[in-house]
Structures are given as structure tokens and as C-alpha cells.
Structure 1
Amino acid sequence: MRLRIRGQSVQWAAGREAVAVVYGDVTIVVDEEDDLFYTRAALQAHRPAEGRITVQPTPASVSPAALAHDMLYALGKRLAPGPNSPDVWLDSVNAAWLAAAAWGVAMGVRHVVVPRAHLLTSRRIDQLLAWRESTGVQLTLLWQKPPRGLPPALARVERRISGRDQFEALLAEPGPIPARPSFPPALPAMTGAAAMAVAARQAPAPQPRGSGAASTRPGPPAPPCTGAMATAQLVQAAPALKIGSEEAAALAALAHPLIAGALSVLAFTRAGLGSLRFTRDLDITGDVCAIKLHGVGHRHCPLHAVPAWARPLLAGARAHHRLMAHSPEEGVFAPAMVAEARHLRAHAGRLPRLGLSLPAGALVP
């Protein structure tokens, strides 16, 4: 069969051989016969640890954010159920796709495979293509019906491959290095005597037993606080508190990056919410191995080591911050602690073994 799209003539293989057509970084595998081989190969290709996931669209879902939720599920995230779910803000299309993009960037996803793509509406295909643009991943769609129904968004053909061997080779490719979101550059870090003086004022001081990790008492104005990288060169990070593996897994499954990141910091530091409110992008080291918290007036700004289980969660929160084009000087968790504070409290309540008591008044700026 021959298909002509935008003046280009493309030869499609007949019979049970599928054809893959590449649109930029998007590949359409046309499987007219709905050969079980291609579906099985796509499902077996799901290896998140290797940067490749398979997203199975939920059939007949009318939720505008359904495909974004399917993406989050493939990334290992689980939305809390129920009509009063603390994840209700992810019912918003923009919020759900932004969360999926943040997790995709943080987890280093390089290749996404979507079976049954012919069942997706044009709107959801547009959403998927926009998500690919924000993450820079390679996208492979299984179109398991004749190609004449391809939507306009997939109309430009650049090249084609066909056959089972080539499809398996496509799945075996590592995919491109994911694009990183652009954001305004951080201010130059202070060095030498200036950094030493500021770090000395911010060094962790002995705290009374049972007190919070950061003071919330008002004080005189302080000079701008250095970021985590500069502080880490001068101050040893406080060790992270240990939590159980079940609690760590529960935090890792939270769908919204800001909720997961904020609660993980509270879990391994037992810091007060006041300090977390002022945590900026530049307060997380590039390798996500340390985070700096702040007290009002910067009287006490301790540096904490980030345990291995929490690093992907903080990376997700930081990716979310950068995808929103926020400055490194702005608070990473501020949106979750003000506009969506009730969801943060609700998730904390669903993890009673962590003992994270978040009174409503503590989240009012």
C-alpha cells in the first residue's frame, strides 16, 4: 500500500510486517494486522532503570488528564484514590503533564513507547507531543490500524523502517540524552573570605533537645545566604535521619514532585516547615546529595545530607521548579506550601508512621 502525505510518497509494507515512520524524534509503528508480537515487545521494553518506559493508555477514559495519569503510572507514581483525594490538583491537564515532565526529566527517561496509540484523540496526541518537546525524549507510538487515520500532527514523514528485527533494534537503542529545562542562571557563588564569613554565621549551632532544625524567630536582616554548593565546601552536612523502607517507598510513589520532595525533606531532617518554605533551587547541590534549609533572618541555616532514596524525589521537585522557568533564587516548594497546602497536609496524614504533623497555620506565609 502507498500512502501520500504532504506531497511525500511513502511505501507501506503489506501483510503482517509493520512499518515504522519517524517524525523528527517521534516514531510511528504502523501495525495494520495488530500483531501480538509488537504489543508484547513494547510491554517487555518497559525498563525505567534503563531510561525506557511503556505507557499503556487507559481505555475509554473521559478525564482530560487521563493520558498524563497513565504516564505518571508508568513512571511508578500512584495517585491517591477517592473523591477528596489530595491529588485532586493533578486533575488539571497542565498540572498533570507538568508533573509527568518533571519526573521524566528527573528519572532520566530517554525513550517512551505508547501501544494502542490509534485509540488516542487528537487532543491527547497533541498533549503527548508537547510533553515530548519539554523532556526531549524519543517517542514511539504503536498505530495498530491502517495508517490512513493518522492525525495531522503526525503527518510529516521523514523516513521509515519496517520489520520485527528493526522494531526490536529500535527498542534496544538508548535514545537521545533528554533535554534539560532552561532557567535563569544562578548568581555567582561567593568565594574566599566572604563565603567563609557567611558560612560561619550559618553553621549549624547546637540545638536544645526536641527543638526544630531551623529557628523561626525573627531577627535582624541578614546578608544573602549562599547556596548549598558554596556552603558544602565549608560546612559538613548533617547526616540524614533514617526511615523505614516502606515509608521511603510510599514517598517515592507520590505523584506530585513538590509534595514528594517536601515530605521527603521533612522525613529525613525533621526540620520545621518554616525552613522548608525558604528552600531555593540553589540550596540543592547539583548532585542532589545535600540540601540547605533556612530560618527566618538566616540565623540558623543548616546543611543536610540527602539519603539515596530521597535524591530522585528532590530531583523531581527541582525539575518541576525549572520547567516552570523559575529563578534559582525562588523557593522550590513554595507553591505546595501556600496554594496547595491542604494537599501537603493530607498526604502527610496518609503516612502516619512518619509522624509528620503539619498544622494548617504553619503553612500560611
Structure 2
Amino acid sequence: MALAYGDVTVVVDERDDLFYTRAALQAHRPEEGRVTVQPTPASGSAAALAHDMLYALGKRLAPGPNSPDVGLDSVNAAWLAAAAWAVATGVRHVVVPRAHLLTVRRVDQLLAWRELAGVQLTLLWQKAPRGMPSALARLERRISGRETFEALLAEPGPKPMRPSFPPGAMMDAEPAAVSVVPRLSSNVQPRGAHTASMTPGWRAQPCAGATATAQLSQAVPATEVASMDAAALAVLAHPLIAGALSVLAFTQASLSSLRFVRDLDINGDVSVIKTHGVGHRRCPLYAVPAWARPLLAGARTHHRLASHLPTDSVFAPVMFAEARHLRAHVGLLPRLNLPLSAHSLAL
């Protein structure tokens, strides 16, 4: 039987029927917005379930005690990263088999994450419902049967509220405007406030965002990045690190150019990004290649879910301590040939 509450459904499978497990695993189709998360059994890590979610989303944490992903050992940081990737890639339905093995705390984490990511959540409770956490036991509507369960898995889930780039999808269309940012800064200059050179990449307005700049200036074409290197960037777990390194890869710009990149420096469909030079003497506009657009969308979504303003720096949280986490990842990706020397952060 299945118990539904809002966008959360608990399927009770007291006999642990193999059919339900197989159906849940076969439902994993990220390209269709549906992901199956398999909880790691008996893990003592507080962020274990969030890491399982990241893994199901196609992300891999760097191994080792001194891992550059050590920040994702924090529960809040790990769940925020998972929410950002889910939203950015258009995940709409998450299925969790063997949910009866989760602690009450992890059930609460999962439900809170669902609220943040705005997805439909289906939990497969594979034993008698006795001892079910109160947050799940209060579910009321009941359905039963294999056909009903298969129909439930086929549901697409809530319609995405924000622009997203499903894995492998074509990204030519302009998504709807994002509504989660409350306001724009008054520092954004009105269109036409200054004239601009039409030389590719030349700044149009010192403080204008990417959308306004793109109407007046051509974007610098992206530097070609090998598909193997793009794939290595695509599996990085932290959205800000993945986004930052992708920008450095396709622009070949210095690390300091990322310091002042704001939310409004990435346009609506993530097709162009604007970076800023010292004193805004040169603020080039770059075309974003298709492979990098989901990564930048993840970084921007992370920025917005953390309740930052559009005028705040997107990559500031990974620029501290001379960007040591970025540099550590570069050390693991030598093919990218990104020199991140200490002086590259100088103002």
C-alpha cells in the first residue's frame, strides 16, 4: 500500500517483495527528471544520505582525508549542494527504496530537502509500518497494488519552478524567469546609459549584468574543452567548484576574474557570463558552451537557494583561503591545465 501526504508518498511493502525494489531501481532516469537514491547501509556519517543523493544525481566526492570536498561533510552544505543540482537539472521525482533503514533524523533531513528542492518524494518502506517516524505515519491516503505503484513511479512530479537543464537535453530555448530572487540592485544601469564598442568581449556597461551587456556587445567564443575534461568537471559534487572551474576552463581567464561575478552576470538561459577586471577597466562577456551550462546553472541555483542577492558574488564562498579547495581540485584534474598560482587572486 502507499500513503500519500502532499508531494510525499510512503509505499509500505511488508513482505519486502522484490518487485517493488526492482521497479524502484528501474525508475532511475535522470534525463526524465526521476532519480532513485539508494541509502548507504550503516553509514555513521551525518551527511551520508545527502552524499547518497549527490551520487544518484551523478556527482562524485573526491576521496581522501584531505579531500577538496571536505566542506560537503557538513550536513547543511551537502544537502544544499544536492538541492542545487536537483533544481538545476530538473529533477522532479525522487524515489528512495529501503527507507525503513533510515534514522528519524535522516528522514527529517530528507523531508526538509524535499521542501527546498520542490520535488515529489516516494519512500519505499519495506517492513511492517510499526515504528514508522511520526512525520511519515500521519500520511492518510492509501493506495495498493503493483499497477498503482508503477503508475506512481511514472508520474513526472511537480513542474519545475526554476530554469533547469536536464542531463543530455538540448539547451537552445530561453527558460522562464526565475522568481526566487526578491529584487534587483539599484546599481544596475539602465539600458542605453552608455555606448559600447561592438568589439567581441569588450565591456558595454561597467556594472551592467550579462543580459544588458549582451544587447550591446558580442560574447567572446568559448575556448574548446575536450569532452573527457568536460565530463570530469560535470561530476564534481560542489556546484560552486564545478561552476568556477568550468568558467576557468572555457574562458582561460585568471582566478581573480571570478571574484566579482554576480548572479546578474549570468543571463537567463546561461548562454553568456560576464567577468570583471580590476576597477571594471575590462569586463568581458563570454559565450557559455553547452556542456558548461548545467554546471553554471547549478552554481547559480546554489547561490539563490542560499538566499543571496543578485548583486552578491556567486563564487565568493569558495574563494576564501586563496581558494584552496579550487586549487586542490585542479591538482586532481591535470589535463585541464589551469594554473592557479597564489598571485592570481591578487586585487
- Same fold judged by TM-score > 0.5? yes
- Structure 1 residue 183 and structure 2 residue 165: aligned? no
Question: Any idea what SS the aligned residue of 2:52 has?
Answer: helix
Partner residue, 1:193: 192
SS for the counterpart of 1:148 is coil
On the 8 A contact 1:281/1:328 being kept in 2, the answer is yes
2:55 to 70, 73, 86: 73
User: Residue in 2 aligned with 1:359?
Assistant: 341
SS at 2:60's partner residue? coil
| Aligned pair partner of 2:26 in 33, 41, 44 | 44
* RMSD of Structure 2 on Structure 1 (CA): 2.0
SS of match in other structure, 2:296: helix
1:239 aligns with 221
Give the aligned partner of residue 158 of structure 1: 140
* Equivalent position amino acid for 1:226 in 2: A
Identity across the alignment (%): 74
Give the drift of 1:182. Answer: 2.5
Among candidates 261, 275, 282, match of residue 300 of structure 1: 282
Supply the AA of the counterpart residue of 1:354.
L
SS of the residue 1:235 aligns to? coil
What's the secondary structure of 2:35's corresponding residue?
Answer: strand
Change (3 A) 1:123 1:361: farther
Q: Which of residues 145, 167, 174 in structure 1 aligns to 2:156? A: 174
Superposition pairs for residues 207-246 of structure 1, below 5 Å? 225-246=207-228
Matched, 1:309 2:306: no
- Is the alpha carbon distance of 1:364 and 1:153 closer, same or farther for their aligned partners in structure 2, counting shifts above 3 Å? farther
Which residue number in structure 1 is paired with residue 242 of structure 2? 260
Structure 1 residues 85 and 174 mapped into 2: Cα distance closer, same or farther (>3 Å)?
Answer: same
Pick aligned residue for 1:29 from 1, 11, 34: 11
Separation in 2, partners of 1:81, 1:107: 24
- Which 5+ residue runs of structure 2 have no aligned equivalent? 163-178
Alpha-carbon distance in structure 2 between the residues aligned to 1:25 and 1:47? 19
**For 2:41 and 2:153, how far apart are their aligned partners in 1?**
24
Count of residue pairs the alignment pairs up: 330
Distance 2:304 2:321 in 1: 18
What is the SS of the residue equivalent to 1:149?
coil
Provide the TM-score with structure 2 as the length reference: 0.91
Aligned residue among 54, 73, 89 for 2:36: 54
- Is 1:147 the counterpart of 2:122 in the alignment? no
Task: Please tell me the residue identity of whatever aligns with 1:103.
Answer: W
Secondary structure of residue in 2 paired with 1:193: coil
Question: Retained in 2: the 8 A contact 1:134–1:179?
Answer: no
Find the aligned partners of 2:128 and 2:346 in 1 and give their Cα distance.
56
Which has more radius of gyration?
A: 1
Aligned position for 1:281: 263
The counterpart of 2:120, out of the listed 124, 138, 141, is 138
Q: Which amino acid aligns with 1:20?
A: A
Q: CA deviation at 1:359?
A: 1.6
Tell me the distance in 1 between the aligned counterparts of 2:257 and 2:113.
Answer: 33
Residues 223, 313 of structure 1: alpha-carbon distance in 2 compared, 3 angstrom cutoff: closer
